[in-house]
Amino acid sequence: MNTRFSRRHFMGSAAAALGALGLRPATALGAGIRPPPPGLEPRDPYDDLAKLSSNENPYGPSDKMMASMNAAWKYSNRYGYPDGDILEKIADHHGVGTRNIMMNAGSGETLKVAGLAFLKHDEKVVGVEPTFLTVYRAAAGIDADAIIRPLLGDHTQDIDDLIKVTRRNYRDVGLVYVCNPNNPTGVVVSDDDIRRLLDGIPEDIPVLIDEAYHHFVQDPSYATAVPYIKEGRKVLVTRTFSKIYGMAGLRLGYGIAPEEMIDEMRVYSTGSVNALVKWGGVAALEDHESEAWVRDTTIALREATANELRGQGFEVIPSETNFFMVHTGRPASEVRAEFRKHDVAVGRDFPPMLDYLRVSIGTEEEMKRFLTAWNQIFPDGMTATGSSR
Ligand SMILES: Cc1ncc(COP(=O)(O)O)c(C=O)c1O
């Protein structure tokens, strides 16, 4: 394991301070429970599972992020406190103003807020399937409809089709959702196609472009959609600190959009981002070395694993993210159950691609465990008939 990413314990410094005063932490004192002798801590079964199912970053926050968050404990009891100017830093990062940013507890919250704001009068959301479902779920939660279109045979999003259905339903459409790169396929929409979509639909329809996996993309045809916001288009781009920066459990994400769109969304947002997370976010944006290390390591492991499966005859969809999809030739639900017996958690069902398995990229050790399990589950590889049995 790379030691730069060894996790420091948040409570370490607090416990040390109590120790210096001759005191022990309240949990150990009050309950009369003695901590176990070093090396005999109870085993946590959570740690045994190779978690390759939720597209997380297996390394967690970098040392610089941990130091920044640990230094922010002193703000825990305050409502107002220095927050490292996180909003300004995010705005500067994209060359926009702070009024163009909405910060949330994860970009999932931003997606939900967008759904509530732009579909509230029974409007419809237009998008593809399979994709990330939060916006569709937000729509369902307020009884708004979704117009969901299939992917093309090469797993790309059919931009002509999205333009066509949006124009045809112009009066009813409140939002167009494009996940780029798409989860679960890992496939990008090119910048040309994003522009074509924006040019092809009425300009007053908001387009949400979810760039959760932006940092992993290498395909030169892809570009962030942020410049379209600066052109004055009705575009909302969402980003997250969960993936490249390893903050999924800490919750930090944001949306970038024209001021009027952010204002429309603001009433639905809770704005519940805590002090530690804000300081973690500031450090993340400045820690370019760690960001590059996570990206390069993830991509190298993704390609090595995907190529191993391709070598056995399996179709692996070329991915621009920290996960890939492989055609198992049998129900992925069965394959997942097999993997669980090996303490490896992978994917979930992504209808209609029910015989494709989504695999998130973990550490080198986790990917070895994945391949060992794979070779036992598929001892004969993929046959010429496309069957894996
Ligand atoms: C495409 C996409 N968007 C948004 C999210 C939400 O991420 P978070 O709420 O952790 O920022 C995810 C998480 O997996 C995702 O895959």
C-alpha 309 to ligand 1 mean position (Å): 26
Q: Domains in the chain, start-ordered, CATH in brackets?
A: 69-286 (3.40.640.10), 289-377 (3.90.1150.10)
165-186 pLDDT, tens digit each:
999 999 999 999 999 999 999 9
Residues 6+ positions from 353 with CB-CB distance below 8 Å: 130, 184, 185, 325
Residue 32 has a pLDDT of 54
Instruction: Tell me the CA distances in angstroms from 13 to 10, 67, 308, one per residue in order.
Output: 7, 11, 44
8 A C-beta contact, residue 230 and residue 95 = yes
8 A C-beta contact, residue 106 and residue 271 = no
Instruction: Tell me the CA distances in angstroms from 147 to 126, 237, 262, one per residue in order.
Output: 5, 20, 24
Q: Say how far apart CA 106 and CA 78 lie, in whole Å.
A: 22
C-alpha 53 to ligand 1 mean position (Å): 13
Q: Say how far apart CA 310 and CA 319 lie, in whole Å.
A: 13
Residue 94 has phi, psi (to 5 degrees) of -105, 0
Structure tokens at 67: 């130091």
Residue 385 has a pLDDT of 46
C-alpha of 109 from chain center: 12
C-alpha 240 to ligand 1 mean position (Å): 7
Q: Could you tell me what percentage of the chain is helix, strand and coil, using 3-state DSSP and rounding each to the nearest 5? A: 40, 15, 45
- How many CA atoms lie less than 13 Å away from 203 in the CB half-sphere? 6
User: H/E element holding 95?
Assistant: none
248 lines ligand 1 (CB under 6 A): yes
8 A C-beta contact, residue 304 and residue 343 = no
C-alpha 104 to ligand 1 mean position (Å): 12
C-alpha 197 to ligand 1 mean position (Å): 23
Residue 37 has a pLDDT of 72
CB atoms within 10 A of CB 14: 13
Q: Say how far apart CA 212 and CA 1 lie, in whole Å.
A: 25
Q: Is the pTM of this model over 0.85?
A: yes
Residue 381 has a pLDDT of 80
- Nearest CA to 386 out of 291, 297, 313 is that of 313
Q: Say how far apart CA 115 and CA 176 lie, in whole Å.
A: 10
8 A C-beta contact, residue 182 and residue 194 = no
104 lines ligand 1 (CB under 6 A): no
Tell me how long the chain is: 389
Q: Say how far apart CA 114 and CA 235 lie, in whole Å.
A: 11
- Nearest CA to 354 out of 179, 188, 108, 129 is that of 129
242 lines ligand 1 (CB under 6 A): yes
Residue 388 has a pLDDT of 55
Residue 15 has a pLDDT of 40
- Nearest CA to 148 out of 318, 355, 354, 352 is that of 352
3-state secondary structure of 100: helix
Residue 9 has a pLDDT of 40
List, for the chain, all residue ranges whose pLDDT scores fall below the cut of 50: 1-31, 384-385, 389
Q: Say how far apart CA 362 and CA 369 lie, in whole Å.
A: 10
C-alpha 97 to ligand 1 mean position (Å): 24
87 lines ligand 1 (CB under 6 A): no
Closest residue by CA, ligand 1 atom 6: 108
**Burial class for 236, CB neighbours closer than 10 Å (0-12, 13-18, 19+):** buried
253 lines ligand 1 (CB under 6 A): yes
Residue 71 has phi, psi (to 5 degrees) of -75, -10
- Only one residue has tokens 């916001």, namely 229
Residue 103 has phi, psi (to 5 degrees) of -100, 140
Q: Say how far apart CA 201 and CA 168 lie, in whole Å.
A: 10
